[in-house]
Amino acid sequence: MSILHVVSVSGGKDSAATAVLAIEQHGRAACRFVFADTGNEHEQTIEHVAYMARHLGVEIVTLRADFSAEIVRFRDYVREQWPRKGVSKGDCERAIAALVPTGNPYLDLCLWKGRFPSRTRQFCTHYLKTLPLVEYQMGLIGDGACEAVWSWQGIRLNESQSRMSRLQGTGACVRSFEVMGDGLFTYRPILRWTAVDVFDAAALYGLAPNPLYLQGMTRVGCMPCINCGKDEILEISKRFPHHIERIAMWELMVSMASKRQMASFFPDPDREKHLNKRGIHNVVEWSKTQRGGQLMDWVRIHEEPKACESAYGLCE
Ligand code: SF4
């Protein structure tokens, strides 16, 4: 049976090690590399993925989800159905005017859904990464490029507690290989690796880490990710304020398209009790505080971002 090994590259350390491992075990000709560009990536991550392709001597195919058809269909739904649901003519017209595809996958997904994803409704991963990747992989089989695809996922158990529970359950058996059906298999080769292991694997190929790791970021996925912690939000606001401004603009655009006229990237830090605390600028203000948001933490606020500040000790 002919097999292609498809490695999903995120621009982060784990997928870099996984790419190196796939090349090492199967050679470049048997591997394919894909990068799901969510449209909410940091420019340094986009550059790093291009650098990885050059350095490893491979092509990394960029996948970008397209929601223009869904937005157009939803606009028709708003025009026909919202008035029957008691929504005022002015509100319908406002939403219809806002429901215009922008070509940015993340923003268009949120315009279509009328909201941003959240930790409890994390639909971004499904629509922006999983679906485009599965479509690409099934396309390889459908086009006759191979009879089966091993989908390599660069995830590690000790990266998060929820991941450990999901993949390991209560026993010692870890789901490192799964049959998905129709010729598709999932392979997770670095489940038990540590952060040091993955940096070492990439270093064997002389592959430099994403420069964002040297600027206080613990993850280099979306900028920001809905799962960002308090310190990471503060760090982003100090180092990359243009991304905060972009999210503020997206909040306005998605609010215009939503029935409630309100959409915020992060929920209110105070468990959504105070609607006036929503919005990225308010969340950035909260990230400067300590003790439940009551006291301003002046040291954290005024500390200049250091040139090199890696949570993984990369700057040592
Ligand atoms: S990195 Fe975060 S925001 Fe981006 S798709 Fe994944 S969960 Fe969603």
Task: Go through the domains of the chain in sequence order and give each one's CATH number.
Answer: 3-65+123-214 (3.40.50.620), 68-102 (no CATH), 230-302 (no CATH)
pLDDT of amino acid 278: 75
Query: What is the residue with the minimal CA distance to atom 8 of ligand 1?
Result: 124
pLDDT of amino acid 316: 43
> Residue 276: pLDDT band by 50, 70, 90 thresholds?
low
Average pLDDT over all residues of the chain: 88
In short, whether 62's Cβ falls inside 6 Å of ligand 1 is no
In short, whether 221's Cβ falls inside 6 Å of ligand 1 is yes
pLDDT of amino acid 160: 64
Query: What is the residue with the minimal CA distance to atom 5 of ligand 1?
Result: 125
Distance from Cα 222 to the centre of ligand 1, integer Å:
6
Distance CA 235, CA 310 (A): 12
CA atoms within 13 A on the CB side of 50: 5
pLDDT of residue 315 exceeding 60, the answer is no
Query: What is the residue with the minimal CA distance to atom 2 of ligand 1?
Result: 225
Distance CA 149, CA 57 (A): 21
In sequence order, what are the residues at sequence separation of 6 or more whose Cβ sits closer than 8 angstroms to the Cβ of residue 39? 64, 104, 105, 106, 107, 108, 128
Distance from Cα 298 to the centre of ligand 1, integer Å:
30
pLDDT of residue 314 exceeding 90, the answer is no
pLDDT of residue 304 exceeding 80, the answer is no
pLDDT of amino acid 166: 61
In short, whether 15's Cβ falls inside 6 Å of ligand 1 is no
Per-residue pLDDT tens over the stretch 147-183: 999 999 998 887 766 555 666 555 555 678 999 999 9
In short, whether 124's Cβ falls inside 6 Å of ligand 1 is yes
Instruction: Name 186's bridge partners.
Output: 151, 178
CB 190 within 8 A of CB 156: yes
Ligand 1, residue 227: give the atom nearest the CA.
2
pLDDT of amino acid 293: 64
In short, whether 125's Cβ falls inside 6 Å of ligand 1 is yes
Query: What is the residue with the minimal CA distance to atom 3 of ligand 1?
Result: 225
The answer to which of 43-47, 102-106, 223-227, 268-272 has the lowest mean pLDDT is 268-272
Residues in the chain: 316
Q: What amino acid is encoded at 180 in this protein?
A: M
CB 305 within 8 A of CB 215: yes
* Sign of the C-alpha dihedral computed for residues 25, 148, 137 and 119 taken in this order: negative
Distance from Cα 254 to the centre of ligand 1, integer Å:
17
In short, whether 65's Cβ falls inside 6 Å of ligand 1 is no
Distance from Cα 40 to the centre of ligand 1, integer Å:
9
> 39-65 in b/e burial notation, b at 16+ Cβ within 10 A?
bbbbebbeebbebbbeebebebeebeb
What are the Cα distances from residue 30, in Å, to 5, 58, 134? 6, 11, 18
pLDDT of residue 292 exceeding 80, the answer is no
Distance CA 313, CA 197 (A): 13
CB 12 within 8 A of CB 46: no
- How many degrees, rounded to 5, is the angle at CA 238 between CA 234 and CA 244? 80
Distance from Cα 223 to the centre of ligand 1, integer Å:
9
Nearest CA to 114 among 89, 77, 66? 77
Distance from Cα 221 to the centre of ligand 1, integer Å:
7
The answer to which of 136-150, 180-194, 209-223, 246-260 has the lowest mean pLDDT is 209-223
Distance CA 33, CA 224 (A): 24
